[in-house]
């Protein structure tokens, strides 16, 4: 991001394009730098201004032009990002008290600074607003949570034999992208069927280049063997075109062509070739039969339905491409409970398409206020006409009703899970006599094999379950720890975790009464406004008295023993689940009844920490196992390493090569050859 520092220390953000395939909003921030500096300077010297009075001063200098504004609190955090057709009129509403909820009233009251960016059009302002909200995550905006990138199918375009691959992330590689799919498993199933239908390779380019004979996939008729020219380049290109046509929506044409080829082979009495075409047709039918609902009148569309009840909002999204249902996903955006469903959906849409390809049609369950503006902005961004519709009858209305039913079901499941989680957190507080119900629990575990590749894992749980974005792993670095010393490992993890937390967040004030904390927990406004806390209320340690002694020593050393409640969870007799012993300050160790819900809750958190620590350890161990010896030689970059491996085949063969053999490799000078030789041999070359 190209940020511009303003004289008062603020930052003016330029719009950027994360994705080469998606057109971003035009860069409008640069056009507004001078004006923004003037506005900031105009009120910079007015001491003591805050809230509506401060906003009124800004309004005097704002133009009747479209743009984006940001509201800051005393700590310098962005509280809200908004866009306006006229900055002067929109911001003026805040100064005049034209607000709709207590939440917005509080936002205005806490405002100590504002910054502005003018844009050429309101559509540019809409796109820039969505971009800034996703990056800054202001507490008073509707926030799109769980915004994990979607997987796609990629047919690569930078190789003589294009590969059929699963892709996630920026679409930087040359090729054709098809999607989005709702999940990686949906992509995997589709690719598996497409392999049987079109016999395209799925191997990496490096594996492809080193093949001297066809792999097993060729033997089981999942690949046509382009690596060893079992199929001609022209024949393989025909298969690629058929796959592209099928994924682009021309599936019936592809099936008709293959059926004709099967009939021709049968008439020629070439029954083996006819059987291949038969199997390909069956694979194509398998792909389509697993797509669920496939409405004839919807070729390319995303369908959104929202259910808004009890302070919780669920937005269900179904993806239709090439006339096929490519899956669905439920979102639970953070929003003010006083907002209407249409207001939440309106704010959600702009953020959703900030970094995603936009289809030709978007179908909604609710009419949103800025429907025409969104359609215009999306059309400019996508480079093609985008229609946003709220169907009232017919097949499309039935489809929206189906999506809405899914939204209601997902809403009910989420509400039940949240309610259950709240009861469990309350039960945990009662069991361990905590002063208030915890909002953040951190669970720690270590994993290693006889001290090697030791990793500490931290998982986090809160009112809505596990918060996977907060998970952390700690590669054990200390050389003073005896291999297998679990106490020493836990001490290092605790020291690193809380030393950094104190440095970044400071030590919180825990002098809050149980009654005040309980009241805060039940306030819907506070729950929705407050960001997830950085400091844990409780830490669970997978271990007994020994681990707890090490942890308490660290907490004492850092002066935070009264700030964080530490609880040890030791495996019971014979390591049986249900017989765990608990260790906490001021209490003798104890067990819970075998069917206590709190016991199950703690077991689930401990098992999640165990799973995460083991997974991190295995990943580190695997990385060490496949580490290439050439990586350790200074001056040998990817290019030279590739040349050496292509010439000798393996790193082991490189280690055995003589000096003259090394110098014979293209790009390897005498000095580099000596460096490689000396790395693998104790004696210098004669």
pLDDT digits (tens, 9 = 90+) for 165-198: 888 877 778 888 887 787 777 788 778 878 877 8
- Beta-bridged to residue 117, according to DSSP, are 68
Instruction: Check residue 615 and give its pLDDT.
Output: 85
Find out whether 270 and 220 touch, Cβ atoms under 8 Å: no
**What is the Cα–Cα distance from 485 to 495, expressed in whole angstroms?**
16
Q: Which CATH number fits domain 301-413: 3.30.2320.20, 3.40.50.620, 3.40.50.720, 3.30.420.10?
A: 3.30.420.10
Find out whether 191 and 204 touch, Cβ atoms under 8 Å: no
3-state SS, residue 416: helix
Burial bucket for residue 359 (CB in 10 Å: 0-12, 13-18, 19+): buried
Top CATH class, 629-680: mainly alpha
Find out whether 72 and 79 touch, Cβ atoms under 8 Å: yes
- Residue holding tokens 């104790």? 682
Find out whether 300 and 320 touch, Cβ atoms under 8 Å: yes
Q: How far is CA 180 from CA 17, 18, 169, in A?
A: 19, 17, 11
Find out whether 362 and 403 touch, Cβ atoms under 8 Å: no
What are the backbone dihedrals phi and psi of residue 233, each rounded to the nearest 5 degrees, phi first?
A: -60, -35
Find out whether 69 and 115 touch, Cβ atoms under 8 Å: yes
* Domains 3-136 and 629-680 equal at CATH topology level: no
Find out whether 629 and 650 touch, Cβ atoms under 8 Å: no
DSSP 15: P
What is the homologous superfamily of the domain 435-623 according to CATH?
UvrC, RNAse H endonuclease domain (3.30.420.340)
Give the CA radius of gyration of the chain: 30
> Which ranges of the chain have pLDDT less than 50?
1-45, 292, 512-530
Closest to 124 measured CA to CA, from 4, 10, 24: 24
Residue spans per domain, the chain: 3-136, 151-289, 301-413, 435-623, 629-680
**What is the Cα–Cα distance from 82 to 126, expressed in whole angstroms?**
9
End-to-end CA distance of the chain: 54
Greatest CA separation for the chain: 93
pLDDT digits (tens, 9 = 90+) for 267-300: 778 787 788 777 777 777 666 555 545 566 677 8
**What is the Cα–Cα distance from 157 to 168, expressed in whole angstroms?**
16
Q: What angle do CA 267, 273, 276 make, to 5 degrees?
A: 125
Find out whether 578 and 599 touch, Cβ atoms under 8 Å: yes
**What is the Cα–Cα distance from 14 to 132, expressed in whole angstroms?**
9
Top CATH class, 3-136: alpha beta
Instruction: Check residue 364 and give its pLDDT.
Output: 94
DSSP 374: H
* Tokens standing for residue 625: 């196992």
Instruction: Check residue 367 and give its pLDDT.
Output: 92
Which three-class secondary structure string do you get for 564-622?
A: CEEEEEECCHHHCCCCCEEEECCCCCECCCCCCHHHHHHHHHHHHHHHHHHHHHHHHHH
Find out whether 165 and 202 touch, Cβ atoms under 8 Å: yes
What are the backbone dihedrals phi and psi of residue 374, each rounded to the nearest 5 degrees, phi first?
A: -60, -45
**What is the Cα–Cα distance from 164 to 167, expressed in whole angstroms?**
10
- Beta-bridged to residue 4, according to DSSP, are 12
Closest to 672 measured CA to CA, from 627, 633, 614: 633
Quick check: bond before 180 cis, omega within 30? yes
DSSP 263: H
Concatenate the DSSP letters of all residues of 218-249 into one string: HHTTS---GGGTSS-HHHHHHHHHHHHHHHTT
3-state SS, residue 94: helix
Q: Say what the pTM is.
A: 0.66
Who's near 181: CB < 8 A, 6+ residues apart?
150, 151, 152, 153, 187, 190, 319, 326, 327
3-state SS, residue 200: coil
Query: Hey, how many other C-beta atoms are within 10 angstroms of the C-beta on 477?
Result: 9
Instruction: Check residue 451 and give its pLDDT.
Output: 59
Instruction: Check residue 303 and give its pLDDT.
Output: 92
255-265: burial string, b at 16+ Cβ within 10 Å, e else: beebeebbeeb
């Amino acid at each position: 991001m190209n940020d511009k520092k303003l004289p008062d220390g603020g930052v003016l953000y330029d719009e950027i394009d994360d994705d080469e395939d998606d057109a971003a909003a035009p860069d409008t921030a640069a056009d507004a730098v001078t004006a923004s500096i003037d506005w900031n300077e105009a009120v910079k010297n007015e001491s003591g201004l805050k809230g509506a009075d401060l906003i009124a001063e800004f309004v005097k200098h704002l133009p009747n032009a479209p743009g984006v504004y940001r509201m800051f609190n005393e700590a310098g955090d962005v509280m809200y990002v908004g866009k306006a057709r006229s900055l002067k009129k929109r911001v003026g509403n805040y100064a005049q008290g034209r607000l709709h909820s207590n939440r917005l009233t509080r936002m205005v009251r806490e405002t100590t600074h504002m910054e502005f960016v003018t844009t050429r059009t309101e559509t540019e302002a809409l796109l820039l607003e969505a971009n800034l909200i996703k990056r800054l995550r202001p507490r008073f905006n509707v926030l799109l949570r769980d915004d994990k990138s979607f997987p796609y199918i990629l047919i690569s375009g930078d190789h003589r034999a294009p590969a059929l691959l699963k892709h996630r992330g920026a679409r930087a590689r040359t090729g054709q992208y098809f999607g989005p799919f709702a999940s990686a498993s949906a992509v995997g199933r589709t690719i598996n069927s497409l392999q049987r239908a079109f016999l395209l390779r799925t191997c990496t380019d490096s594996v492809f280049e080193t093949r001297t004979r066809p792999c097993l996939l060729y033997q089981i008729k999942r690949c046509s063997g382009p690596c060893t020219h079992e199929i001609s380049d022209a024949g393989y290109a025909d298969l690629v075109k058929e796959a592209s046509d099928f994924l682009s929506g021309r599936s019936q044409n592809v099936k008709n062509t293959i059926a004709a080829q099967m009939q021709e082979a049968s008439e020629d009495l070439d029954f083996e070739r006819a059987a291949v075409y038969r199997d390909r047709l069956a694979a194509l039918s398998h792909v389509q039969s697993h797509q669920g609902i496939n409405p004839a009148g919807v070729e390319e569309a995303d369908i959104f339905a929202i259910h808004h009840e009890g302070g919780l909002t669920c937005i269900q999204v179904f993806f239709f491409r090439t006339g096929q249902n490519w899956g669905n996903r439920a979102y639970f955006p953070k929003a003010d409970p006083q907002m209407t469903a249409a207001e939440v959906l309106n704010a959600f849409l702009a953020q959703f398409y900030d970094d995603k390809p936009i289809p030709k049609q978007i179908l909604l369950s609710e009419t949103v206020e800025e429907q025409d503006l969104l359609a215009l902005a999306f059309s400019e961004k996508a480079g093609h006409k985008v229609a946003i519709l709220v169907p009232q009858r017919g097949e499309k209305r039935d489809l929206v009703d189906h999506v809405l039913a899914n939204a209601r079901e997902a809403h009910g499941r989420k509400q039940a899970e949240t309610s259950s989680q709240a009861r469990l957190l309350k039960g945990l507080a009662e069991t361990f006599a905590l002063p208030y119900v915890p909002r953040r629990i951190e669970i720690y575990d270590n994993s290693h094999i006889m001290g090697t590749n030791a990793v500490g894992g931290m998982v986090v749980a809160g009112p809505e379950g596990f918060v996977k974005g907060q998970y952390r792993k700690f590669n054990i670095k200390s050389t003073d720890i005896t291999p297998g010393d679990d106490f020493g490992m836990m001490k290092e993890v605790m020291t690193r975790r809380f030393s950094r937390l104190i440095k970044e967040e400071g030590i919180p004030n825990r002098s809050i009464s149980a009654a005040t904390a309980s009241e805060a927990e039940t306030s819907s406004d506070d729950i929705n406004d407050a960001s997830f806390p950085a400091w844990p209320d409780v830490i669970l340690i997978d271990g007994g008295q020994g681990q707890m002694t090490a942890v308490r020593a660290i907490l004492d050393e850092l002066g935070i023993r009264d700030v964080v409640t530490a609880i040890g969870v030791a495996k019971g007799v014979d390591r049986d689940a249900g017989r765990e012993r608990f260790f906490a300050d001021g209490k003798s160790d104890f067990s819970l009844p075998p069917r206590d819900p709190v016991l199950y809750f703690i077991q689930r958190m401990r098992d999640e920490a165990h799973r995460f620590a083991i997974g991190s350890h295995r990943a580190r161990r695997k990385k060490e196992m496949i580490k290439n010896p050439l990586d350790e030689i200074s001056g040998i970059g990817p290019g030279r390493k590739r040349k050496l491996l292509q010439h000798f085949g393996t790193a082991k063969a490189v280690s055995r090569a003589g000096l003259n053999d090394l110098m014979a490799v293209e790009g390897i000078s005498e000095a580099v050859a000596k460096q490689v030789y000396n790395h693998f041999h104790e004696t210098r070359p004669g």
